[in-house]
Structure 1
Amino acid sequence: MIHFVGAGPGAVDLITVRGKKLIEEADVIIYAGSLVNPELLKYAGKDTEIYDSAKLTLDQVLGLMKAADDEKKNVVRLHTGDPSIYGAIREQMDYLDGEGIPYDTTPGVSSFCGAAAALNMEYTLPGISQSVIITRMEGRTPVPERESVEALSAHGATMVFFLSAGDIGRLVEKLISSGRHKDTPCALVYKATWDDEMKFVCTLDTLEKTALDYGINKTALIIVGETVAQTGYEKSRLYAPDFSTGYRKGQES
């Protein structure tokens, strides 16, 4: 059995109870060493085979899975954050489907949630933004044209950029050219929830300088939008005295 497990954003105690249990029971662990906190491997048994996929090709990872399955071993494929976001899991699952190898997925806390926690921030503030766009800027690998920074920015929603800290200057140019004002609130969160986490609230025109000043060019999330300021929002109607729900009858004024 292959278990795809979300390792969480970084802090060891933010892995799920289920994920921790699967690590403890694994015969083989293949972990994304460039991003997963290695402290999580302390939960593994003393005889567990451990492989760092940062040093492997896809074919090598799949080969390890197949060999372990042939020997009836339990495998944990440990991905950073939640496997469903930039986890490249579909290509692994397609191979397993083709080989008739069973697998399941254990979700994890994504780093975009860890970043919000670091900032004590709510992404969806009534009257400001009720949507969150999780995306990345094109780099060595492209994105569909309909999902360009400019196209998505036009919605005015809160934006969370993964995998884009290496070229913040170009990201800023794209956002401003799409209509975002240079004073748009932004946040830069480096290694959210890790011991060496850094977090900064700035504006679009100071975002690049902030990153340069602190040497941040990878392993960071960039949050753009008015919600970063956490001001000027409307209170939720759900808790208003005159708002009825299936659990509470609203009071007439």
Structure 2
Amino acid sequence: MTTPSQPGRLYGVGVGPGDPELLTVKAQRVLQSVPVIIYADSLVPEEIAGFAKPGAIIYGSKEMALPEIMEVTLQAVSEGKTVARIQSGDPSLYGATLEQMRILERERVDYEIIPGVSAAFAAAAVLKAELTVPEVSQTVIMTRAEGRVAMPEGESLIDLARHGSTLVIFLSVTRMFRIANQLQEAGYPADTPVAVAYRVGWPDQQIIRGTLTDIAEKVRDAKITLQALIIVGKAVDPNLLDPASDERVAVSHLYSDEYTHLYRRAGQGDHAAADRTELYEAGGYEVQPERAVHTSTGDD
């Protein structure tokens, strides 16, 4: 990256899927301090732009093409101003961020990307789902269905579906029937659980659950055609939340008394407690009755 030559700078700010309370502290601090904000007003609630300080200039970008957005940005930066470019979700996922960064690099503008909560993780939270369940799915693939945007070789939905992992599919809800058919063609069972999250984090949020057999019809009946995320796989099966599923589904080793890691050895009884005390102390913890409190040495 070249040394900046412009006096101002830009923050590319991910603000999450819609809920203003999902902003990071850093994102909110930036929005409250910059004099110029450009935000995707078709995808970002007005309340988030409302964090701007009094007197800030705010541009809605839904009717702006990239050249106009960058013209506003570069003009402000040349005047020594800091600009916040607000984007929904996280800028690194389908954020059209790379083309903006290339221009900033060419113009030698200082910039920083602030990550945001992806709709994928906001949806998983609403679903009360863990996307990586032991012996169910330990891999998450984030992709989109082929449409107006061509997919690179080897990344068609059928190619990716052959892994049988948890699939998070962005920007594709209008192709729900095709997606359901392709996934079954690739080997997903017809009863594979599917969840569609519409405008997750917004007041009109809607969650539709089904299987590859019926989800397309449910989405059609709900008249959902945009701003929806599709999650496919056994990891979003609501039956996993059933307490009785402990007998059928493997769980993480993390809290198992039979699993050894840096701070705990496998075992039971007094010997195990002594072993745990030794491991905690080796990790810089002061061990007190019934709990371990971390004590900083200044070298952490």
Q: TM-score range by the shorter chain?
A: over 0.9
Question: Which stretch has the larger CA shift, 163-172 or 230-239?
Answer: 230-239
* Within-5 A mapping of 1:5-20: 5-20=13-28
Shift of 1:166: 1.3
* Within-5 A mapping of 1:140-179: 140-179=148-187
- Counterpart AA for 1:241: D
Structure with max Cα Rg: 2
Structure 2: distance between partners of 1:49 and 1:55 = 17
Shift of 1:239: 1.4
Q: For residue 60 of structure 1, give the secondary structure of its aligned residue in structure 2.
A: helix
User: 1:242 — aligned with what?
Assistant: 258
Q: For residue 159 of structure 1, give the secondary structure of its aligned residue in structure 2.
A: strand
User: 2:291 — aligned with what?
Assistant: none
* Within-5 A mapping of 1:178-197: 178-197=186-205
Counterpart among 44, 47, 52 of residue 60 in structure 2: 52
Shift of 1:113: 0.6
Q: Does the CA contact (< 8 Å) of 1:150 and 1:175 recur in 2?
A: yes
- RCO greater where, 1 or 2, for CA within 8 Å and sep 6 or more? 1
Q: Deviation above 3 Å: which 4+ runs of structure 1?
A: none
Q: Is the counterpart of residue 81 in structure 1 residue 81 in structure 2?
A: no
Q: CA RMSD in A?
A: 1.2
Q: For residues 144-170 of structure 1, give each alpha carbon's deviation from its aligned partner in whole angstroms, at most 9, with x where no partner exists.
A: 131100000000000010000111111
Q: Identity across aligned pairs (percent)?
A: 39
User: 2:73 — aligned with what?
Assistant: 65
- Counterpart AA for 2:160: L
Q: Does the CA contact (< 8 Å) of 1:167 and 1:217 recur in 2?
A: no
- Kindly tell me the number of residue pairs found equivalent between the two proteins: 253
Structure 1 residue runs of 5 or longer lacking an equivalent are: none
- Counterpart AA for 2:105: D
Give the TM-score normalised by the residue count of structure 1.
0.97
Q: For residue 91 of structure 2, give the secondary structure of its aligned residue in structure 1.
A: coil
Q: Is the counterpart of residue 233 in structure 1 residue 249 in structure 2?
A: yes
Shift of 1:252: 6.1
Question: Which stretch has the larger CA shift, 137-146 or 101-110?
Answer: 137-146
Structure 2 residue runs of 5 or longer lacking an equivalent are: 1-8, 241-247, 270-300
Q: For residues 51-73 of structure 1, give each alpha carbon's deviation from its aligned partner in whole angstroms, at most 9, with x where no partner exists.
A: 12211111111111110001111
Structure 1: distance between partners of 2:98 and 2:121 = 22
Structure 1: distance between partners of 2:253 and 2:29 = 40
Q: Does the CA contact (< 8 Å) of 1:4 and 1:76 recur in 2?
A: yes
- Counterpart AA for 2:97: I
Shift of 1:9: 1.2
User: 2:46 — aligned with what?
Assistant: 38
Q: Does the CA contact (< 8 Å) of 2:164 and 2:187 recur in 1?
A: no
Give the TM-score normalised by the residue count of structure 2.
0.82
